Amino acid sequence: MNPARYDAIADSYAAEFTSADDPVSQALLGLIGPPAALRILDIACGHGRLTRELAIRGARVTGLDISPALIGKAREAEQQDALGVSYQVADVATWRPESGQRTAFDVVTCSFGMSDIDDLEGCAAAVSRALRPGGMFAFSILHPCFPGGRDVSGSWPSAGRYYDEGRWTADGALSALRRQVGANHRTLSTYLNTLRQHGLVFDELAEPGPPTSWAASRPDAARHPVYLVARCLKAGPATDA
C-alpha cells in the first residue's frame, strides 16, 4: 500500500469519518465484546476513529497505519484528549514490534482496511504473529459479493467479474473514496483460505445493512449485501492476557 494514497486525502477523509456510531462499526464492536483491559492492535487505523472508541471503552490500544499523514492526525487527537493510545507508522505486511514491545495482543482489529492492504498474505501472517493463542481478529470490509448499483461501484470493476481479483479504481459517481484511493478486490474464499492458512479460523460473521440515509439514496445498491464483518480466532489454546 502506497502511503500517498491516503496522505493525499487525509484532511477530507478524517473530516468525513469522525465517529464509530455507524452500523458496521457497531457490528464490529459487537463481535469483539467488552474490550476493557484487553490489549488491542488496530491495523490500518487511519486517523484513529475505531482506535479511540476502543480506548474509550477501556482497552489498551496500539494503532498502526502506513500513512504518516493519518497517523499525524491520530496523534494530534491523542494530544488533545489523551486516551493512552500508542500510534506507529508502518506497513502491517512487514511490521515488526518495536524493541522490547510485547506482541501477545488479545485482539487485532481492522476497520475497512483489508482492501487497502496489497499484501494479504503478509497481513495475515503479521496478525497471526501479533495475537496470543486463542486471540481474536475482527475486521470489516465492503462485502466481496457486493455488485454495486447505479452510480455506486461494487467490489470489482463494472466491466469485470467477481472472480477477477486485483487492484482497481472505482468509477461510480457516488463512490468518492474508492475513486481516489482504489481498492483490492478478492473473493470471499481468498479471504477465508488465506486467513485459515495462517491459523486464523472464521468464528462468526455479520452482514449489517447500510445506514438508512445511504440506503434511501441508493435503493438498487441497498438490495444487495453491502458490508461484511467477521471474527476469526487464532488456533491454539487460549492463554491469560
pLDDT (tens digit, 9 = 90+) per residue, 115-137? 999 999 999 999 999 999 999 99
DSSP 8-class letter at 211: P
Distance of CA 218 to the CA centre of its chain: 23
Side-chain half-sphere exposure of 6, counting CA atoms within 13 A = 23
Q: Rounded to an integer, what distance in angstroms lies between the CA atom of residue 132 and that of residue 227?
A: 28
195 lies in some domain: yes
Residue 86: give its domain's CATH number: 3.40.50.150
DSSP 8-class letter at 138: E
Strand 166-168 and strand 131-142: the pairing is unpaired
pLDDT tens by residue, 70-126? 999 999 999 999 999 999 999 999 998 765 566 689 999 999 999 999 999 999 999
150 lies in some domain: no
Residue 229, beta-bridge partner list: 140, 206
**Cβ atoms < 10 Å from Cβ of 157:** 16
**Cβ atoms < 10 Å from Cβ of 13:** 21
Distance of CA 179 to the CA centre of its chain: 18
Grid cell of 177 as nine digits: 473514496
Quote the pTM value: 0.94
pLDDT at position 98: 66
The answer to whether the beta carbons of residues 165 and 190 sit under 8 Å apart is yes
226 lies in some domain: yes
pLDDT surpasses 70 at 241: no
pLDDT at position 104: 85
Tally of domains in the chain: 1
179 lies in some domain: no
Of 205, 145, 180, nearest in space to 24 by CA: 205
170 lies in some domain: no
Which domain range does residue 38 map to? 4-142+184-234
156 lies in some domain: no
pLDDT tens by residue, 181-200? 999 999 999 999 999 999 99
